[in-house]
């Protein structure tokens, strides 16, 4: 998808009427295309090339790249830095902000800084508890929660002021997102929590891993009853499972991941579990694409990032659309230069 | 105490009634409190509030009490101190991701709120971030001052 007002890579796009950010993700979603995002695991390194190498494998397959913020309470390169590196070459990053490590002073500063670096999307998260990570002795902050963080980011954007009321010279033009887990109890309250996030300012949603489509359907139906499907772009979380053992481990040890026995059974019975895991992922993506109220998928393939392009291509969810990537610009300019 | 805290959620409706009585009692005593001065009452009131609410709700004295809108379950017992509903890490059995032996505070809040007079009202609106300066102070006295302010 080449935009008419495509600038130099790394330069901001124009903000279209009715849009809140100059970002590509918002443009793709508002244009009605089925969007694909993927999660980048930030490196344990100070080398920018490691970030670029991790982003490159998604080229031509994703509309935006999520940079996680100390996910699982493990220490990695910061999400704001990963995002700033990605915007330099024109990628469209989604900056995840967790409430675990920073108070409202730090978070507001980071939102301004990220917007200044060309980051157009923010995903407000509560964050995993420090107990689950590699620094369990750290102080958990949780000055805000995901909902009050959304409200704060919207206040900054819409009212051009800090939470304190002090004015901003230029507001952060960010497309605001939140996570939701339709698969965690209390199920009957999840759609209402979604409504609360929408009321606080969420414009898009990326869900936890979905392996249970019937549960997703009932969540979407409840969200529809609350009138949320017209207000929110919902991207459903998917990912390939490498083996039955890993799936067991994930559901036992990673908070919020629910994998039905049937899925684990299929992996266990398969000769090549890795291939079966990708096949399950592709089938899920194809089924999810047909659901009313779903605007896209969010692919999370921790330690299997090389599988992301494969499952997206195999699923056909992009329907031939090629999302922006630096390579495409290079090809286009070479074509232009040729006599 | 955890067991009493769970009891309080199961008896959210009765406690809601008790809270209304307390509200009326405080309102009746308001002129006396004004005479003594809230400044002088703050410490004994906070100590009393801490004793009562500590017993029934494991109250953390955040100073911005929302018990009446969270099914008589104190959200400050959430290890993440979430004030706008549960996180995505709630276990399949409804227990906390961080404290596996504890029921998720927000699963409890949902149960408790269903027992109250206006179950839906419990989850409406967005709770603002806490004002940490109020920590340790009496929210009952503050509530009284706000009501008086609203009336005048």
Residues of chain B with Cβ-Cβ distance to A151 below 8 Å are 126, 128
d(CA A218, CA B14): 33
Q: Give how far B114 is from chain A: nearest CA, Å.
A: 11
Share of chain A above pLDDT 70, in %: 96
Q: Give how far A15 is from chain B: nearest CA, Å.
A: 29
| Other beta carbons less than 10 A from residue B99's beta carbon | 15
In A, minimum Cα distance to B87 occurs at A126
Residues of chain A with Cβ-Cβ distance to B80 below 8 Å are 99-100, 126-127, 129, 140, 142, 145
Answer yes or no: do A196 and B110 touch at CB < 8 A: no
d(CA B12, CA B3): 14
B77 CB-side CA count, 13 A:
27
B54 touches chain A (CB under 8 A): no
Residues of chain A with Cβ-Cβ distance to B106 below 8 Å are 186, 189
Residue A240: which of A299, A179, A286, A295 has the closest Cα? A299
Angle between helices B12-36 and B38-57 (to 10 degrees): 160
What does the pLDDT read at residue B147? Answer: 82
Which position has the higher pLDDT, B38 or A95? A95
Domain boundaries, chain B: 2-151
Residues of chain A with Cβ-Cβ distance to B70 below 8 Å are none
Per-residue pLDDT tens for B106-143? 999 988 988 888 766 556 689 999 999 999 999 999 98
On whether the pTM is more than 0.90, the answer is yes
Label residue A332 by pLDDT band (50, 70, 90): low
| Other beta carbons less than 10 A from residue A202's beta carbon | 28
Residues of chain B with Cβ-Cβ distance to A147 below 8 Å are 84-85, 126-127
Residue A163: which of A214, A108, A218, A126 has the closest Cα? A108
Q: Give how far B139 is from chain A: nearest CA, Å.
A: 19
What does the pLDDT read at residue B1? Answer: 78
When CB atoms are compared, the residue of A104, A180, A189 closest to B129 is A104
d(CA A295, CA A291): 9
When CB atoms are compared, the residue of A132, A148, A152 closest to B127 is A148
Question: Does residue B91 contact residue A255 with C-beta atoms inside 8 Å?
Answer: yes
B89 touches chain A (CB under 8 A): yes
- The verdict on whether omega for the bond into residue A186 sits within 30 degrees of 0, i.e. cis, is yes
Question: Does residue A62 contact residue A102 with C-beta atoms inside 8 Å?
Answer: no
- A101 secondary structure, DSSP code: S
Answer yes or no: do B86 and A144 touch at CB < 8 A: no
Residues of chain B with Cβ-Cβ distance to A154 below 8 Å are none
For range A288-311, the mean pLDDT: 95
For range A5-14, the mean pLDDT: 77
Residues of chain A with Cβ-Cβ distance to B73 below 8 Å are none
Answer yes or no: do A186 and B98 touch at CB < 8 A: no
| Other beta carbons less than 10 A from residue A98's beta carbon | 23
> For residues A136-169, b (16+ Cβ closer than 10 Å) or e, as one string?
eeeebbbbbbbbbbbbbbbbbbeeeebbeeeeee
In a 3-state reduction of DSSP, which class is residue B43? helix
d(CA A43, CA A94): 16
Q: Give how far A106 is from chain B: nearest CA, Å.
A: 14
For range A279-296, the mean pLDDT: 98
How many pairs of residues across A and B have Cβ atoms under 8 Å apart? 103
Q: Which domains does chain A have, with CATH numbers?
A: 24-334 (3.20.20.220)
Residues of chain B with Cβ-Cβ distance to A179 below 8 Å are 88
Q: Which of A69-73, A199-203, A312-316 has the lowest mean pLDDT?
A: A69-73
Which helix (H) or strand (E) segment holds residue A298: the answer is strand A294-299
d(CA A51, CA B32): 66
What does the pLDDT read at residue A28? Answer: 97
Give CA torsion, residues B127, B128, B134, B140, to 10 deg.
Answer: -30
ipTM reported for the complex surpasses 0.95: no
B136 touches chain A (CB under 8 A): no
DSSP string, A129-174: -GGGSS-TTSPP--SS-HHHHHHHHHHHHHH-B-TTSPBPSS----
Interface probe with A: pick from B62, B88, B122, most Cβ of A within 10 Å = B88
């Amino acid at each position: 998808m080449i935009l008419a007002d495509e600038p130099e890579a790394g330069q901001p796009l124009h903000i279209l009427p009715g849009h809140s950010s100059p970002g590509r993700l918002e443009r793709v979603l508002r244009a009605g295309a089925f969007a694909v995002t993927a999660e980048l695991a930030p490196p344990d390194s100070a080398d920018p090339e490691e970030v670029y190498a991790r982003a490159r494998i998604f080229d031509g397959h994703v509309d935006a790249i999520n940079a996680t913020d100390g996910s699982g309470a493990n220490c990695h390169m910061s999400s704001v830095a990963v995002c700033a590196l990605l915007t330099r070459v024109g990628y469209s990053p989604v900056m995840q902000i967790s409430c675990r490590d920073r108070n409202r002073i730090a978070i507001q500063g980071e939102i301004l800084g990220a917007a200044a670096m060309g980051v157009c999307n923010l995903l407000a998260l509560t964050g995993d508890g420090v107990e689950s990570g590699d620094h369990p002795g750290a102080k958990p902050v949780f000055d805000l929660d995901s909902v009050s963080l959304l409200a704060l980011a919207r206040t900054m954007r819409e009212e051009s002021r800090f939470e304190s009321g002090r004015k901003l010279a230029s507001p952060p033009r960010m497309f605001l997102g939140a996570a939701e887990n339709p698969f965690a109890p209390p199920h009957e309250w999840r759609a209402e929590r979604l409504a609360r996030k929408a009321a606080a300012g969420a414009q898009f949603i990326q869900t936890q891993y979905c392996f249970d489509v019937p549960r997703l359907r009932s969540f979407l139906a409840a969200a529809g009853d609350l009138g949320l499907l017209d207000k929110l772009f919902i991207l459903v979380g998917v990912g390939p499972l490498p083996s039955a053992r890993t799936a067991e481990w994930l559901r036992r040890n990673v908070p919020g991941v629910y994998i039905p026995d049937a899925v684990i059974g299929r992996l266990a019975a398969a000769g090549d579990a890795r291939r079966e895991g990708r096949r399950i992922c592709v089938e899920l993506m194809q089924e999810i694409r047909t659901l009313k109220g779903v605007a896209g998928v969010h692919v999370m393939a921790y330690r299997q990032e090389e599988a992301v392009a494969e499952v997206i291509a195999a699923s056909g969810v992009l329907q031939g659309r090629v999302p922006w990537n630096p390579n495409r610009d290079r090809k286009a300019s070479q074509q232009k230069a040729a006599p | 105490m955890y067991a009493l805290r769970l009891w309080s959620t199961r008896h959210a409706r009765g406690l809601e009634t008790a809270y209304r009585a307390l509200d009326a009692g405080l309102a009746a005593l308001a002129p006396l409190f004004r005479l003594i001065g809230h400044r002088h009452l703050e410490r004994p009131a906070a100590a009393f509030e801490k004793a009562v609410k500590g017993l029934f709700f494991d109250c953390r004295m955040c100073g911005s009490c929302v018990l009446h809108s969270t099914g008589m379950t104190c959200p400050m017992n959430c290890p993440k101190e979430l004030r706008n509903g549960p996180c995505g890490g709630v276990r399949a059995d409804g227990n906390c991701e961080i404290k596996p032996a504890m029921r998720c505070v927000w699963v409890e809040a949902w149960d408790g709120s269903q027992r109250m007079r206006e179950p839906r009202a419990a989850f409406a609106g967005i709770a603002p971030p806490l004002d940490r300066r109020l920590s340790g102070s009496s929210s009952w006295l503050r509530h009284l001052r706000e009501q008086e302010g609203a009336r005048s």
